[in-house]
Amino acid sequence: MLAVFLVLGASASAQASVARRPIPHDAKSVIRSVHVAAKTKNYRALKALMVPEFKWSFGGDSDADQAIEAWKRDQETLHELSRVTRLRCSFIIDANTIQCPTHAGLYYRAGFTKTAEGWRMSYFVAGD
């Protein structure tokens, strides 16, 4: 039982350590670009900042083109994307994933992943 607590404690400690790491300049630049593209409804710029297998729904939807088409019909979603990319972002899980805002709970959150092409937005979802 003590071993389980030690492992869980070490895992939580490691995640807290990752969360405190400063966000790299290139990641900040992508987050800012997503914010501006969402605010100005620049779908072409948004698409260029997304991974192709973009997760935008928990209903099995994981395609950047589908997300863009849905956002064109739902302007409130773009407003939320603009809003969350203004909030405090932090690393989550590891040094390759950033989330804005860090502790969103069931509310909207945007995730950014380090890829071979650089940082890209990999998800924008709400709920659990």
Could you tell me the pLDDT band of residue 84, with boundaries at 50, 70 and 90? very high
Domain count of the fold of the chain:
1
Domain with 83 in it: what CATH number? Answer: 3.10.450
Q: Give residue-wise pLDDT tens across range 59-78.
A: 767 789 999 999 999 889 99
What is the spatial distance between Cα 111 and Cα 27, in angstroms, rounded to a whole number? Answer: 11
Q: What is the pLDDT of residue 104?
A: 86
Greater pLDDT, 35 or 2: 35
Question: Considering the chain, what percentage of its residues have pLDDT values greater than 90?
Answer: 68
- Look at residue 107 and give its three-state secondary structure: coil
Q: Which residues form the domain of 96?
A: 2-125
pTM above 0.85, yes or no: no
Which of 1-5, 37-41, 93-97, 106-110 is predicted with the least confidence, judged by mean pLDDT? Answer: 1-5
